[in-house]
Each structure stands twice: as C-alpha cells, then as structure tokens.
Amino acid sequence: MSITIDKFLTTQLDELKAKGLYNTIDILQGANGPIIRVGSKDLINLSSNNYLGLATDERLKKATIEATNKYGVGAGAVRTINGTMDIHDKLEKDIAKFKGTEAAIVFQSGFNCNMGAISAVMTKSDAILSDELNHASIIEGCRLSGAKIVKVKHQDMPDLRLKAKQTVESGLYEKVMYITDGVFSMDGDVAKIPEIVKIAQEFNLITYIDDAHGSGVMGKGAGTVKHFGMADKIDMQMGTLSKAIGVVGGYVAGSQKLIDWLKVRAKPFLFSTAITPGVAAACIEAFRIMSSEPQLMERLWENGRYLKDGLKNLGFDIGNSQTPITPVIIGEEHKTQLFSKRLKEEGVYAKSIVFPTVALGTGRVRNMPSASHSKQMLDQVLSIYSKVGRELKII
Ligand SMILES: *Cc1c(COP(=O)(O)O)cnc(C)c1O
C-alpha cells in the first residue's frame, strides 16, 4: 500500500519540528534595507545580499516605474517567442561590456540560470569536477545535465589537479568541466582563479565560475574573474541580478558562440517567460551606477573592514573571509541559534547558519554588511555583539 500525501507530509514535518530543524519565516514590513521592520520592531539588518544598497535606490525605482509605464508589467512571452524587448537586449549588452566578455544571456533567476546553462553545455557523455561546497543550484544543474559528477575538496588545488588528471586520462568522457563558486557565501573565501586557469589549461577543462556573491563586490563590481584579470580565460561566468545588483535574475557572460548556444538550448530561456520590463530597466540602471560610482563598492569594503576589525577586537572568531561577508563562528549548533536569537532581541538581525548547511560544530552567525550601513549602525552592532557575547560566555 502506498502512503497518502497527508501521511507523508505529517511524518516529515513532525520529524523536522522534533529535531528543531523546521524553519519559520520572518516577514518584513517594508523594504530590505539596512534597517528592517520585523513584527513591530526595527532591526539593524545584517542578513541580506543587497550589498550595495541598490534594492532601495531611488534611481532604480524610477527606472522600474518608467519602464513599466512604457512596456507594461510583464514581458508577455518567453524570450524566444516575442518576449525579448529592446531593454532585455540592452541589459545583455551592458552586462557583457561590464564583465569584459563578448556576450551575455539573462535568465529569470540565478538558480534557474545554473540549472539551464550547465545542462545546456554538459551531457551524460561528460564529467563535471565540482567543489564540494558549491551552491545548491550548481548541484542541481550538474545533476540535470546527466554528467558524471566528481566532487573536489573545497578550494584544494592539488585535489583538483589530481581529479582532473584521473578524469581526463580515464578516456571515459568527451568534455570535462570544473565548476566553483567565485565567492563562497558561508565563509567569504574566494576561488583561486589563477591556479584554476592553470590546471584547466593543462587538462583542457571547461571553466565555470558562479559569481553570485562576487558580482558587484569583487573586481570593482565586475566580479572575481575580473578581480584576477582573467575575463578571457574563464569560459562561463555566471552571476545573479538578485544580490549586489539588488533586483532579480541571473546571467551568463562569455563568448558569442557560447551565448548563441545557450539562447537555443538553455531550457529556462526557451520555456519560461522573460524577466519583467521593470526588472530589466532597474538592472540596466544598476550596471550604469556600478560603472560610474566605484565609491559604492569602496564603502561596502570599508564597512566590511570596520565590522571585522571591531568583532575581532572584541575577541570573536571571524574565520578567514576575504570579502565583506563576516561569519562569527560560535561552534555548537544550539548555542549558535541562541546567539542569533539574542542578537535579534537586542536589535540586530543576523541569521545563524548551522549543520547541514555548514559542517557540524562550525555553527556561525553570518553578517552581511552593505554600502548602505552607517558607522553609527555598525557601532551599535558591535556594542550588542559585545553584550550578547559576554552573556553567552563566548568572549
Ligand atoms: C544566491 C545564489 C544563487 C541563486 O541566485 P538567485 O538569483 O537568488 O536565484 C546561485 N549561486 C550562488 C552561489 C548563490 O549564492
């Protein structure tokens, strides 16, 4: 006898709740800016990916409204039927220019971009070497492609070289790809692009960098690959329009041939309606602002440094982040969750991240400072961290 859906759901939900793993969602009453209102309380927000504050930028809002008035609220069709408007085309050209590649293609989200782009290029005759800490959307994209997946130890270049050699020399696969996050969002560490390029050249690997957390942050906004000056050495640079760019969507930047192929093979491009005109216009404005206002990126990094120095001086373990992402490593899972809860009660919204998202015993509260936080806000954060840290005997 098969079980009913109700029985399945009840069992699963009860089990999650019993283990304390059931997530209840906080609802924001207003914008996701440096201060957010949750319930009836204003909290300093250190949990959003709105790195540059563009999600609430007046110029982006104006661009969205104007485009909505001109083109309507929806694109009306998938890109390949007649959902491609001149603003979609302009956005793709602007992204390619900003990234220093020949062309770019835009998707409705970073998640479906990875699903669509990886599976359009890789097949069951191929193999993908994948960093073990890659984002869920990369893992799904790899699975969907049907390629053999070979896990590579996190940021371990000798392991990458060994696995590349074994995989290529096995002679079992037509193509071999290496895929990695450009910036890992749990620790803030950065992919070793120059070493990756060297190994890729030695074994003729296809290279794919998911720069969801690098775009708008690294390389004066143009990402991790640009940061290392290697835009012409990485085959596929993926990014999101949902994080630093402040809106929603995803893209791949690369050669004209690659983009031509994705436009005829990537499923979400062919079978899911195009991003709305308002989204396209806001993104165009975001790239314009990033090109002309490097001080936005500078402020983000300065705030990151200020927060890191402050937390370190208080005696917290902030790991080895190379970006503004600032984890505070607490360790034990329950204590980590309690720490985050106490921060919230005191006025700071910073989420706890525990097993299975990160390794057991490395629970952390993750802080995402942005360009739009003021020094005063960060000082308040530090004073609350100091209080809660002493209370829970962490410092
Ligand atoms: C957030 C994220 C994505 C998904 O991007 P969305 O635009 O939010 O769908 C993909 N990859 C990585 C590494 C991410 O952090």
Predicted pLDDT at 26: 94
- Ligand 1 close to Cβ of residue 221 (< 6 A): no
- What percent of the chain has a predicted confidence (pLDDT) above 70? 100
- Ligand 1 close to Cβ of residue 98 (< 6 A): no
Residue 105 corresponds to which tokens in the numbers above? 């293609």
Q: Which DSSP string do the residues of 134-165 spell out, in sequence order?
A: --HHHHHHHHHHT-EEEEE-TT-HHHHHHHHH
CA of 189 to the centre of ligand 1 (A): 16
With tokens 């308002």, the residue in question is 278
Cα distance between residue 116 and residue 285, in whole Å: 26
Report which ligand 1 atom has the smallest distance to the Cα of 183: 13
Report which ligand 1 atom has the smallest distance to the Cα of 248: 7
What's the rounded mean pLDDT across residues 283-301? 97
Q: Which of the two residues, 354 and 250, has the higher pLDDT score?
A: 250
Cα distance between residue 150 and residue 379, in whole Å: 45
Predicted pLDDT at 23: 84
Report which ligand 1 atom has the smallest distance to the Cα of 240: 7
- Ligand 1 close to Cβ of residue 369 (< 6 A): no
For residues 177 and 261, state if they share a domain.
yes
Predicted pLDDT at 110: 98
Nearest residue by C-alpha to atom 5 in ligand 1:
110
Predicted pLDDT at 19: 80
Residue 287 corresponds to which tokens in the numbers above? 């790239």
For residues 118 and 218, state if they share a domain.
yes
End residue of a domain, out of 238, 261, 292: 292
Cα distance between residue 192 and residue 209, in whole Å: 11
Predicted pLDDT at 4: 98
- Ligand 1 close to Cβ of residue 84 (< 6 A): no
Helix (H) or strand (E) holding 87: helix 86-99
CA of 110 to the centre of ligand 1 (A): 5
The overall pTM is greater than 0.85: yes
* Phi, psi dihedrals of residue 209, rounded to the nearest 5°: -110, 120
Q: Any idea which of 14-28, 229-243, 291-305 has the lowest mean pLDDT?
A: 14-28
End-to-end CA distance of the chain: 56
For residues 348 and 378, state if they share a domain.
yes
Number of domains in the chain: 2
What's the rounded mean pLDDT across residues 286-309? 97
Cα distance between residue 385 and residue 183, in whole Å: 25
Predicted pLDDT at 314: 98
Residue 323 corresponds to which tokens in the numbers above? 């970006």
Enter the DSSP assignment of 56: G
CA of 345 to the centre of ligand 1 (A): 29
pLDDT in tens, 84-133: 999 999 999 999 999 999 999 999 999 999 999 999 999 999 999 999 99
- Ligand 1 close to Cβ of residue 181 (< 6 A): yes
Q: Which of the two residues, 110 and 358, has the higher pLDDT score?
A: 110
Enter the DSSP assignment of 35: E
Nearest residue by C-alpha to atom 1 in ligand 1:
212
Enter the DSSP assignment of 89: H
What's the rounded mean pLDDT across residues 245-269? 98
Residue 175 corresponds to which tokens in the numbers above? 């193509």
* Model confidence band, residue 24 (pLDDT cutoffs 50, 70, 90): confident
Determine the residue of 32, 49, 109, 135 to mutate for testing ligand 1's pocket, defined as the one with the most ligand atoms within 8 A of the Cβ atom.
Answer: 135
Half-sphere exposure for 27 (CA within 13 Å, toward CB):
3
For residues 169 and 285, state if they share a domain.
yes
With beta carbons less than 8 A apart as the criterion, state whether 149 and 143 touch: yes
State the pairing for strand pair 103-107/250-254.
antiparallel
What's the rounded mean pLDDT across residues 1-9? 96
Cα distance between residue 294 and residue 371, in whole Å: 11
Predicted pLDDT at 21: 77
- Ligand 1 close to Cβ of residue 208 (< 6 A): no
Show Cβ contacts of residue 311 under 8 Å, excluding neighbours closer than 6 positions: 318, 326, 328, 367, 382, 385
End residue of a domain, out of 292, 310, 335: 292
For residues 279 and 264, state if they share a domain.
yes
Predicted pLDDT at 164: 98
pLDDT in tens, 338-357: 999 999 999 999 999 988 88
Cis? peptide before 356, omega within 30° of 0 = yes
Cα distance between residue 152 and residue 327, in whole Å: 23
Predicted pLDDT at 339: 97
For residues 257 and 312, state if they share a domain.
no
End residue of a domain, out of 273, 292, 311: 292
Predicted pLDDT at 20: 75
Report which ligand 1 atom has the smallest distance to the Cα of 182: 13
- Ligand 1 close to Cβ of residue 250 (< 6 A): yes
CA of 383 to the centre of ligand 1 (A): 32
With tokens 């999600």, the residue in question is 55
CATH of the domain at 191: 3.40.640.10
Show Cβ contacts of residue 61 under 8 Å, excluding neighbours closer than 6 positions: 282
- Ligand 1 close to Cβ of residue 239 (< 6 A): no
Mean pLDDT in the chain?
A: 97
- Ligand 1 close to Cβ of residue 135 (< 6 A): yes
CA of 200 to the centre of ligand 1 (A): 24
Residue numbers of the domain that contains 323 = 5-55+294-391
Predicted pLDDT at 222: 94
Predicted pLDDT at 121: 98
CATH of the domain at 39: 3.90.1150.10
For residues 150 and 9, state if they share a domain.
no
What's the rounded mean pLDDT across residues 312-321? 97
pLDDT(152) > 90: yes
Predicted pLDDT at 22: 84
CA of 212 to the centre of ligand 1 (A): 5
Predicted pLDDT at 387: 98
Predicted pLDDT at 82: 97
Helix (H) or strand (E) holding 295: helix 294-314
- Ligand 1 close to Cβ of residue 242 (< 6 A): yes
For residues 180 and 315, state if they share a domain.
no
**Nearest partner of 155 among 185, 133, 139, judged by Cα:** 133
For residues 176 and 209, state if they share a domain.
yes
Predicted pLDDT at 345: 97
Q: What is the C-alpha radius of gyration for the chain, rounded to an integer number of angstroms?
A: 22
- Ligand 1 close to Cβ of residue 108 (< 6 A): no
